[in-house]
Structure 1
Amino acid sequence: MSTRNFYDPMPGTVTMTHVVYGLHAITIIPSLIASAFFPWGISVGTASIVGVIINYVLRGDVRGTWLESHFELQILLFWRAILFILAVFILSFPLIFLGPIGVGLLWVAGLTFMIWFAWKLITGWRALAMGETAPDAR
């Protein structure tokens, strides 16, 4: 945890931060199932979209608090997932022509991304539960 002084968060914002982690987390299992059938099946899902909207709406309420780092992590994870989905979608067309090798590469890329995404969510959520700032999003 950093030594920076933070303001106390507004009542309810800690709970909402837990809710947003939960919304992002419930998209992981359906995304893994979808990616097993379709190489571009990795999906951010409606729950993550709702989560990032909550992040943007409440962002001002957490500014200057230790929760700000959690909101930054959640927003960054969402947009990285969107970029990954776009990249996989664009790359899927030429890679499908490679047959099983191309599809396998797409599936491995999707699985690797989902493991990274889940790890970031778990470590962020754990830090939130311990009352700490979020770990770096890299």
Structure 2
Amino acid sequence: MNQSMTEGSSNTTIANVIYVLYLLALINGITAIVGVIMAYIYKDGAPQWLRTHYELQIRTFWMGLLIGAVGFLLSWVLIGIPILLALAVWWIVRCVKGLRFVGERAPYPNYLGWGL
């Protein structure tokens, strides 16, 4: 196996690990921090199609943190609870779609957007 194939396989493994860490963060919260650090470390050396995943993971972390903070603050007046539930669904869908696209070795479509 040549070196570029090995690096490509390693990079897809890292992207998959980050998605799994993000999913685990719904239970423990802390693994998302590890995941975003890994995404920052590996994005520059990745091929363009894989870089879309790292960019999405970084954006998902920061958008999730922002929405989560707003939802937490608003949970004192009960409006935040639906926001936090919607955030969890949004987070899960982005991660599951990301895992699927990495498995297909395809870029994540519209990775710079807020949507799914």
2:17 pairs with 1:19: yes
Question: Which amino acid in structure 2 is aligned with residue 70 of structure 1?
Answer: H
Aligned equivalent of 2:107: 133
Counterpart contact for 2:49–2:106, Cα < 8 Å:
yes
- The size of the alignment, in residue pairs, is 108
* One-letter amino acid matched to 2:64: A
In the alignment, structure 2 segments of 5+ residues that lack a partner are none
Matched, 1:124 2:107: no
- TM-score, structure 2 normalization: 0.81
Residue of structure 1 equivalent to 2:55: 72
**Identity over aligned residues, as a percent?**
27
**Which residue, 72, 76, 83 being the options, matches 1:89?**
72
TM-score using structure 1 length = 0.69
Larger radius of gyration: 1
Richer in helix (by share): 2
Shift of 1:129: 0.6
Q: RMSD of the TM alignment (CA)?
A: 2.1
Query: Tell me, which stretches of 5 or more residues in structure 1 are unaligned?
Result: 1-6, 32-44, 96-102
2:98 counterpart of 1:115 = no
